[in-house]
Amino acid sequence: MMLVHTQRKMEKRLSVRDNLLGPWNQVLARQLPAQAQQDGNPVFSWDAFPTWDPLLNSGKIYITIFQKLVIDVPHWPSDYQASFTLWVQVHRKSDGTLEGFVRKSYVWVEGGAGSQVV
């Protein structure tokens, strides 16, 4: 995901999935409302040099996190499918640690009579 000089002795390669999956699932379990549940684990990927959206810098690489959800709408015969995607911009601070923030988010909700409530 990041271009690094591979001959450095202090190099440490990190897996986004290995480092974020546990904390991600824990935070979602605490933060999602009772009517929403994760539909499987998130998909961690990346979006390199995007030119399709003015909110994203075409000179940067973003970590993307895609999460599917199932929404239980009270008094409705079926659940709704939903998902959200986050584009996370990561950079190295002057002390060598990584820092990131969400640059863009996108939410999708299955169409239907209850989609505005969801």
More confident position, 77 or 25: 25
Residue 117 confidence (pLDDT):
67
Token pair of 9 as six digits: 């002795």
Beta-bridged to residue 105, according to DSSP, are 86
Closest CA to 72 of 111, 104, 105, 35: 35
Mean pLDDT of 92-106: 90
pLDDT tens, position by position, 28-66? 999 999 999 999 999 999 999 999 999 999 999 999 999
Question: Model confidence over 58-94: pLDDT tens digits?
Answer: 999 999 999 999 998 877 777 889 999 999 999 888 8
Given a contact cutoff of 8 angstroms between Cβ atoms, the answer to whether 74 and 62 are in contact is: no
Written as six digits, the tokens of 58 are: 């075409």
H/E run at residue 28 = helix 16-31
Confidence (pLDDT) at 15: 83
